[in-house]
Amino acid sequence: MFKKIFSILVIITFISVFSNYTLSEDKKDVQIKKEPALQQIKTKKPVRIKLKRTVDGKYTWDLTGDDVDEVIKIDKRLKKLLNIE
């Protein structure tokens, strides 16, 4: 009796696995569209700051980055934090 139940369960499992496999092959017909607007998105590079201290104890810095507005914003913030203005 146990062998019959076990063999039936194995057969049902086997059939369900392969039926799902064949059904999943039909779903592979999905078409993928490429949108050029998404391809042109670039990540923002952070502004690099090279902070230098002179012999007199004053600070100078070099700022490099792609976004001019961000460079200006950071320059103003550095001047405010170091009490240069």
Ramachandran angles phi, psi of 6, nearest 5°? -65, -45
Domain boundaries, the chain: 44-81
| Structure tokens, 67 | 């976004």
Cα 85 from Cα 68, distance rounded (Å): 21
Residue 66, pLDDT score: 87
Q: pLDDT tens across 50-71, in order?
A: 988 889 988 889 999 888 999 9
Percent of the chain surpassing pLDDT 70:
73
| Burial annotation 37-62 (CB, 10 A radius, 16+ → b, else e) | eeeeeeeeeebeeeeeeeeeeeeeee
| Structure tokens, 69 | 């507005």
